[in-house]
């Protein structure tokens, strides 16, 4: 089954951008509601910009870390490639380009979300219920994923979307953990609510509590989010699903098929290295290097996907 480069690219980025939108909506929602529990609003907002934005670009455009400015930048700014509006639009544009190859309900859900979001202003978020605003975005993306899971044949199209989704999921979580560890090293992140916010931002609080009860520590959080083989948003689970999706892609061209299987082996190697981690690796100074190396692996795999399937790619991703 031969997958044309432009189609493969669109499918891959539909998965990535849909996942990125949902992840960022979760993170913004959680940070919005814990911002006053320990620290000043400005400090909390600046941390959020560091996690999912670009501090330099933000400062040049907006100046101060106010609630209005930060929400505009990370939610509705069409010039910020990581804003919720921009990510939704990127996923929608890629889906529109291959509508004839995808179930119609996927277009209806994603297009509806984009049109709803495009008409919003910051005051619509702050005046009504910010939680309901971001929950609607999360629920829409969950509906999108549910529809895809229910109706898409398990053929190359599905596996390309899944490859993009799980690569994006792993990278997002690694950046979140990196931010957490940096804050901890600066002795800024020492409150119970803020540590719980990391778990809640990936909807992992209940699953974590079942395993660790009330024992909340940096080591336990990192261990759970890095190594859990049952929690679907952990780094380990994401690389397992990424490897499985890559191995399921079938190409008639031998060289292309071999390149895909090599990429699957790389994902498997990362997963195996994760399985070898112990408490000493997590609690020692090695953790920062480990997170950096894993992010490098994600970047490398993304570049390899580009070279294998869409070498003439014109769109520059964020």
pLDDT tens column, 131-154: 999 999 999 999 999 999 999 999
d(CA 172, CA 17): 11
Which ranges of 228-253 does DSSP label H, i.e. alpha helix? 235-248
CA neighbor of 29 nearest in space, from 122, 114, 125? 125
d(CA 116, CA 213): 40
> DSSP class of residue 37?
T
> DSSP class of residue 101?
G
User: What is the structure's pLDDT at 196?
Assistant: 81
d(CA 122, CA 67): 9
> Which residues, given as ranges, of the chain have pLDDT below 50?
1-2, 36, 40-41, 189, 313-318
pTM: predicted TM-score of the whole model, two decimal places: 0.91
28, 134 contact by CB (below 8 A): yes
Question: What residues have CB less than 8 Å from 130, skipping those under 6 apart?
Answer: 29, 32, 33
Burial of 210 by CB count in 10 Å (0-12 exposed, 13-18 middle, 19+ buried)?
exposed
User: What is the structure's pLDDT at 158?
Assistant: 96
């Amino acid at each position: 089954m031969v997958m044309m480069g432009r189609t493969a690219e669109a499918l891959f980025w539909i998965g990535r951008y849909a996942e990125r939108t949902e992840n960022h909506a979760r993170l913004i929602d959680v940070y919005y509601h814990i911002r006053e529990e320990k620290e000043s609003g400005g400090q909390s907002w600046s941390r959020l910009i560091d996690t999912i934005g670009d501090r330099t670009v933000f400062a040049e455009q907006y100046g101060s870390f106010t609630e209005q400015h930060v929400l505009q930048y990370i939610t509705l700014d069409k010039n910020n490639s990581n804003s919720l509006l921009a990510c939704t639009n990127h996923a929608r544009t890629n889906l529109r380009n291959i509508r004839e190859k995808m179930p119609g309900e996927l277009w209806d859900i994603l297009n509806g979300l984009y049109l709803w979001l495009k008409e919003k202003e910051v005051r619509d978020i702050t005046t009504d219920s910010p939680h309901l605003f971001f929950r609607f975005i999360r629920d829409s993306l969950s509906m999108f994923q549910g529809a895809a899971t229910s109706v898409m044949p398990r053929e190359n199209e599905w596996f390309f979307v899944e490859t993009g989704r799980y690569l994006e999921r792993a990278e997002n979580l690694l950046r979140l953990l990196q931010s957490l560890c940096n804050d901890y090293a600066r002795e800024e992140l020492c409150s119970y609510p803020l540590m719980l916010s990391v778990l809640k931002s990936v909807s992992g609080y209940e699953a974590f509590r079942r395993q660790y009860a009330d024992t909340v520590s940096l080591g336990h959080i990192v261990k759970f989010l890095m190594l859990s083989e049952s929690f679907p948003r952990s780094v380990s689970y994401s690389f397992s699903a990424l490897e499985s999706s890559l191995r399921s892609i079938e190409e008639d061209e031998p060289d292309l098929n071999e390149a895909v299987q090599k990429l699957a082996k790389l994902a498997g190697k990362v997963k195996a290295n994760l399985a070898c981690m112990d408490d000493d690796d997590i609690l020692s100074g090695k953790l920062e290097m480990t997170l950096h190396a894993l992010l490098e692996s994600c970047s490398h795999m993304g570049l390899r996907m580009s070279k294998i399937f869409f070498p003439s790619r014109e769109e520059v991703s964020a």
